[in-house]
Amino acid sequence: MFKLEKSDLSLLIIVAVLTLFAPFILNPFPADSAMSQFNAGYPDLMQRFVIFGIFAVGFNILFGLTGYLSFGHAAFLGVGSYAAIWMMKLLTMNVIPAIVASVVVAGLISFLVGWISLRRSGIYFSILTLAFAMMMYQLAYSDLFGQLFGGILTGGETGLQPKVADPRILDAPLDPGANPKAHLFGLEMGSSFKLDIAGWQFTFNAGYYIAAFAMLCAFYLSIRIFRSPFGMMLRAVKSNQQRMNYTGLNSKPYTLAAFVISGMYAGLAGGLLVAMDTQVGAERMFWTASGEVVIMTILGGVGSLIGPVLGAGVLKYMENILSKINKGVLETWFSFMPDGMSDFFIAITNLFVGKQWHITTGVIFMLVVIYLPGGLVEGGRRLGNRFQRSGKERQNHTKPAE
């Protein structure tokens, strides 16, 4: 089915089921309970889970298969976002042209950057991609091209967003007081349906399911790439590129193709970000955004299929959930303790949440790198093997002696 092996098909089905029932899975605590702080089933965060999952899956095609580490992949995320917003300003608020333009433009830019950067390998390749990304960030932040041609291209430090006065040649004119909203053939991305069941509140958002469908398609394509002869050639590049060149095979077309595909994935993620939140700024292209996707991939498991999606989910969860836990929330949690003891636990816990959530991320990342080089996927595999061994041992103990 879908030309996938049984194990890959099972993995795709599991991801699809988890994605479909995410509003239930990510809201394990009642809405009015103290633990509801850890619920993640609201539209904005769920959208970020799947969109940055696409970003990480695409990055894994380059880094996981070829071993080429790009420090500037956020540039393609930003390029895709700018292409999408201009489609919404000039053509239509329908997200389809915006998403198509984001993928195409990001692919063209990544071809140019990859063609130059792939002349080098190792750390030199990484530095070249970082240099390109920082140049593109500075061009976007200063809106240099817009200034040269007497107009606005990126909006500079204020960014871009759709306005009523934009031409939008395929849309009907809006009322002066209206607010342009992204939609899919009339279905607004922000439209949601809320379901209340015995204290639990579940939100089903149209934008999330559209982004989730795109993520499933991107994940399916990554499986096909991993299992294809093309994917095998990329693994050969990672294993020993020099030996591959000695056989007479030119690895440059394969690595360039992987770089472009990875850049198109990033462009797709950028276009979906605009579809969900119609505002674009140059900060999406900054080097820290490129560092995030590296952390996501390593945290989940480099070279694995599901690892980058898990890594993206964990990182975005910590960024959005742990960062919201402030001193007031901690006082509520430790209110049952005596004053001196509660103050101590609040002071200690406050070091790892709120504005200091990066410390927690850093600690988790270090532990994963030291003890689980294969990321969360390796951790899950070890647990599975341990349970399997314990099950066999129990079976052997209960088996009667012959």
Q: Which structural domains are found in the chain, ordered by start? A: 6-298 (1.10.3470)
With beta carbons less than 8 A apart as the criterion, state whether 63 and 297 touch. Answer: yes
Residue 361, pLDDT above cutoff 70 = yes
Among candidate residues 147, 304, 294, the one with its CA nearest the CA of residue 219: 304
- Phi, psi (rounded to 5 degrees) for 28: -75, -15
Would you state the pLDDT for residue 249? 84
For the chain, the farthest-separated pair of C-alpha atoms sits apart, in whole angstroms, at 91
111-145 confidence digits (pLDDT tens): 999 999 999 988 999 999 999 999 999 999 999 88
Which band of pLDDT confidence, cut at 50, 70 and 90, is reported for residue 401? very low
Rounded distance between C-alpha atoms, residue 259 and residue 292, angstroms: 18
Rounded distance between C-alpha atoms, residue 219 and residue 221, angstroms: 5
Report DSSP state, residue 174: P
- Nearest-5° Cα angle at 151, 149 to 157: 115
Burial of 384 (0-12, 13-18, 19+ CB in 10 A): exposed
Rounded distance between C-alpha atoms, residue 98 and residue 324, angstroms: 32
Tell if the pTM clears 0.75, that is, is over it.
Answer: yes
pLDDT-wise least confident of 9-13, 66-70, 100-104, 366-370: 366-370
Would you state the pLDDT for residue 321? 85
Rounded distance between C-alpha atoms, residue 23 and residue 46, angstroms: 8
Among candidate residues 299, 296, 319, 314, the one with its CA nearest the CA of residue 368: 299
Among candidate residues 282, 80, 280, 43, the one with its CA nearest the CA of residue 162: 280
Residue 1, pLDDT above cutoff 70 = no
Rounded distance between C-alpha atoms, residue 240 and residue 246, angstroms: 10
Number of H helices, E strands in the chain: 16, 4
pLDDT-wise least confident of 151-165, 213-227, 380-394: 380-394
The token pair at 270 is 């950028």
Long-range contacts at 227-234 (CB < 8 A, ≥ 24 apart)? 227/4, 227/5, 227/8, 230/254, 230/257, 231/65, 234/61, 234/65, 234/66, 234/258
Report DSSP state, residue 172: P
Rounded distance between C-alpha atoms, residue 26 and residue 166, angstroms: 38
Rounded distance between C-alpha atoms, residue 159 and residue 190, angstroms: 21
Residues of the chain with pLDDT > 90, as a percent, come to 60
Which band of pLDDT confidence, cut at 50, 70 and 90, is reported for residue 400? low
Q: Is 303 left (phi over 0), alpha (psi -120 to 50) or beta?
A: left
For the chain, what is the mean pLDDT?
A: 90
With beta carbons less than 8 A apart as the criterion, state whether 54 and 213 touch. Answer: no
Q: How many angstroms separate the Cα of 234 from the Cα of each of 53, 91, 252, 288, 364?
A: 21, 38, 10, 27, 30
Among candidate residues 269, 274, 294, the one with its CA nearest the CA of residue 215: 269
72-86 confidence digits (pLDDT tens): 999 999 999 999 999
Would you state the pLDDT for residue 402? 46
Q: How many angstroms separate the Cα of 96 from the Cα of each of 36, 92, 100, 210, 264?
A: 35, 9, 6, 11, 15
184-199 confidence digits (pLDDT tens): 999 999 999 999 988 8
- Phi, psi (rounded to 5 degrees) for 92: -165, 155
